[in-house]
Structure 1
Amino acid sequence: MITAVTGINWGDEGKGRIVDLLSEKADYVVRYQGGNNAGHTVVTPEGKYVLNLIPSGILHPEAVCVLGGGMVVDLDHLRHEMSMLQYMKVKIDSDNLKISDKATICMPFHVRQDVLEEERLLEKGAAFGSTRRGIAYAYGDKYMKKTLRMGDLLNLNSIAIKRRLQVILESKNLIMENVYGQNPLSFEELYNWCESQAEYFRNYICDTGKLLNNAAEAGKNILFEAQLGALRDIDYGIYPYTSSSNTIAAYAPIGAGIPQRTPDRVVGVMKAYSTCVGEGPFAAEDAMPEEWNNKLRNAGGEFGAATGRPRRVGPFDAVASRYGIECQGADDIALTKLDVLSEFDTIPVVTAYELDGHTIDTFPADSSLERVKPVVEEYPGWHCDISGCKSWEELPKEAREYVLAIEKLVNHRIYLVSTGAERSEYITIS
């Protein structure tokens, strides 16, 4: 069984907890795209874990976690993340963590260039809201063939790799010196950095495509874990305010290393309200007064897991969610953070947009999105803590009606609702 867990909206939907839940029956859990520019948060009886690169399945020691070839990997960050998890008594070794030899390395100069360019754009009032983690530059250099892959670390002493690294560095130094006025980068320092990483990760690097294909042939359960959501997909998201990778389920087997396979099931995750990190149009933000948004942000603890930045928030956006479900080809929908809405008297929902004087119910994933205004309907709140509810019938009538209203608006069944942050606080709907 091959299952993909993907985000329906802008990311930060709570995919980590759904992956953690499904990992109980998974043999392999695979990240297939992105880098450390977003985080998945999982709360267990042992503590709270924030994961940026390592799949959420790492909290289940029987599962093998894989960083797929579609990822860009900041090795300094990965080493730190591994150390922090090991400190928290999470089992991590070369038996349960594998890194694709085809994954792109996010080099130190990628991070440096990202910071310099975002600062330049910020001065001009044109910043993209980058996480400054070097992700876009790593992906850009991947397609321009100007970086290294994990497998190259196993052959650092070869003349070909050394020469390629020299050519890459010459190109980067032209930019650093002539565009940003920075001192040139040292080949010796960069090579020594690569040697250190090769020594540390040597036993983790392998042909994960072969590993996963053999697992699929043997009937093992493989779980794909996406980063961010459909509206951040480089091709189908709100361009240019996207990530630099394909976040949709169709790319999962490609980024994992088994392009000949297709997911048997796609689980789409969306929040009971809307959140967004970074710049770009976000209609839900304008649906309610800032006071209401601040209350929602604080109630939901809406601050980026990777960056700590306050997330932009707003009511559930049915228009954007329908589009996200379509992009992901979702079979099942998990709705997270329903409990956050418990303290609101009424709960608004964006049901349509107004664009140039006309009401529309389709999502314009182009520049016209800048001009839309949200059309809002309100639903009654339930005014009580629902974290203790263990079944659909135990939920307050108003909470059930809200979930059913969302189902109708997105024209898709919701099979799971989370009612709190703890691992056990969720309800499946039969």
Structure 2
Amino acid sequence: MLTAVTGINWGDEGKGRVIDLLAETADVVVRYQGGNNAGHTVVTDQGKFILNLLPSGILHKNVVCVLGDGMVVDLEHLTGEIAQIREKGVSVGPENLKLSTRATISMPWHRIQDVLEEDRLAKSGSAFGSTRRGIAYAYSDKYRKKTLRLGDLLHLEEESVQSRLKVMLDAKNMELAGCYHQERMSFPALLLWCRKQAEAFAPYICDTGSYLAASLAAGKRVVLEAQLGAMRDIDYGIFPYTSSSSTISAYGPIGAGIPGHHLDHVVGVLKAYSTCVGAGPFAAEKAMPEDWMEHLRKEGGEYGAATGRPRRVGPFDAVASLYGLKCQNADKIALTKLDVLSTLSEIPIITGYRYENKQMDAFDPFENLDAVTPIVQTVPGWQKDISGIRRYEDLPYGARKYIETLEKLLHAEIQFISVGAKREEYLLRGAWL
């Protein structure tokens, strides 16, 4: 069975939590796009883990994890991430972590370019809110054919690979030295860096597409893990304030390395309220006063897993969520962080937008979303601790009313509900996977 877990909104919906649950019965978990520019947070008996590149399935000893074809991989960051989770007792080796030969390497200059350009744009107030980790530049060079793929590290001593590396370096030196007045990088230093990465990661690099195809043919359960959400998709998101890859489920098999396979299920993950890291239109933050938002931010611990930046927060946005569900084609829905709302006496929900004295019921990324005013309705809160509840029927009336209101607005049933941060603090309702 092939299942994709995707974000419905701006990212940070809690996908890592859902993948961690599915990994209990999965055989393989695959990241299919993005890099280390976002993170998934999972809390287990071993502690709190923030994973930027490693799939959330790495915390399960019987699961094989794959970094797929569609990713850009910062190998220095991956080295540090592996070291951190090993310190907490998690085993990581070639037997449970496989890196695609086709995945793109995030080269040392990509981070440098990202920082320099974001700083330049910030001076004029035009910054994109980049994580400064070089993701856009790695993807840009992928499509310009001016970077290496992981498989190239296995052939690093061949003249053809070194010749390409020299061409890339010459072009990059012209950009960095000519445009940003940076010191030129040397080829010997670059080759030494590549050899160091090859020595560390050669045992992990393989044809992961063939491995995944064989796993599916053998009847194994494969979970595809998306990064960020529909609003950050390069084609369907709030361009230009998007990521640089496709975050939607339809790209999952392609980015994983099995383009001829079809998804059996798509789990769309929603947070019980709206959050956003980075720049771009975000109508939800207009809905409530600043003290309400700060309370929600503190209750939910809303700070970016990759950057530590405070997240922009607001009420659940049904307009944006309907659009995200359409993009992801989700047949299963997970709602996370319901417990964070437990302190509120009334809970707001965005049911529409108003733009130029007209009501907008559909989300359109081409509209002037900065100019919309959210239309808000409220439902009663429950003001009770729900973290110990494991059956939907045992939730307070207010919590059930809130969930059922969301279901009516989304025209869909919510099957998974998290009621606390710990691994076991969730409940299932209806037909799950």
Q: Which amino acid aligns with 2:330?
A: A
Partner of 1:134: 134
Q: Which amino acid aligns with 1:65?
A: C
Shift of 1:370: 2.1
Q: Distance in 2 between matches of 1:158 and 1:367?
A: 51
TM-score by length of 2: 0.99
1:4 has 2:9 as partner: no
Q: Which amino acid aligns with 2:197?
A: Q
Partner of 1:14: 14
Q: Distance in 2 between matches of 1:124 and 1:167?
A: 33
Q: Deviations over 1:262-311 (max 9, x none)?
A: 11000000000000000000000100001110000000000000000000
Partner of 2:340: 340
Q: Deviations over 1:79-122 (max 9, x none)?
A: 00001111111011100000000000000100000000000000
CA RMSD of aligned residues (A): 0.6
Partner of 2:417: 417
Q: Which amino acid aligns with 1:150?
A: L
Task: State the secondary structure of the residue aligned to 2:30.
Answer: strand
Q: Distance in 1 between matches of 2:312 and 2:184?
A: 38
Q: Deviations over 1:348-381 (max 9, x none)?
A: 0000000111001100111422221100001111
Q: Distance in 2 between matches of 1:199 and 1:367?
A: 50
Which ranges in structure 1 are unaligned for 5 or more consecutive residues? none
Q: Distance in 2 between matches of 1:214 and 1:44?
A: 31
Task: State the secondary structure of the residue aligned to 1:128.
Answer: coil
Partner of 2:214: 214
Q: Deviations over 1:37-59 (max 9, x none)?
A: 00000001121111000000001
Partner of 1:120: 120
Q: Distance in 2 between matches of 1:407 and 1:44?
A: 30
Shift of 1:35: 0.2
Partner of 1:302: 302
Q: Distance in 1 between matches of 2:199 and 2:273?
A: 45
Q: Distance in 2 between matches of 1:344 and 1:186?
A: 58
Partner of 2:76: 76
Q: Distance in 2 between matches of 1:349 and 1:78?
A: 39
Q: Deviations over 1:15-67 (max 9, x none)?
A: 00100000011110000000000000000112111100000000111010000
Q: Deviations over 1:385-416 (max 9, x none)?
A: 11011111111000000000001111111001
Q: Distance in 2 between matches of 1:329 and 1:157?
A: 45
TM-score by length of 1: 0.99
Q: Distance in 2 between matches of 1:196 and 1:295?
A: 47
Q: Distance in 2 between matches of 1:205 and 1:168?
A: 22
Q: Distance in 1 between matches of 2:186 and 2:110?
A: 14
Task: State the secondary structure of the residue aligned to 1:24.
Answer: coil
Partner of 2:241: 241
Which ranges in structure 2 are unaligned for 5 or more consecutive residues? none
Q: Which amino acid aligns with 1:8?
A: I
> Counterparts of 1:262-273 in structure 2 under 5 Å?
262-273=262-273
Partner of 1:277: 277
Segment of structure 1 superposing worse, 238-247 or 180-189: 180-189
Partner of 1:96: 96
Taking only the aligned residue pairs, the percentage that are identical comes to 61
Q: Distance in 2 between matches of 1:56 and 1:293?
A: 29
Task: State the secondary structure of the residue aligned to 1:354.
Answer: strand
Q: Distance in 2 between matches of 1:287 and 1:203?
A: 51
Partner of 1:312: 312
Task: State the secondary structure of the residue aligned to 1:25.
Answer: coil
Task: State the secondary structure of the residue aligned to 2:146.
Answer: coil
Q: Distance in 2 between matches of 1:45 and 1:162?
A: 46
Task: State the secondary structure of the residue aligned to 2:23.
Answer: helix
Q: Distance in 2 between matches of 1:343 and 1:195?
A: 54
Partner of 1:261: 261
Q: Distance in 2 between matches of 1:189 and 1:118?
A: 26
Q: Distance in 2 between matches of 1:345 and 1:211?
A: 51
Q: Which amino acid aligns with 2:264?
A: D
> Counterparts of 1:2-401 in structure 2 under 5 Å?
2-401=2-401
Q: Distance in 2 between matches of 1:146 and 1:18?
A: 36
Segment of structure 1 superposing worse, 361-370 or 384-393: 361-370
Shift of 1:417: 0.5
**Aligned length, in residue pairs:** 430
Q: Distance in 2 between matches of 1:320 and 1:367?
A: 13
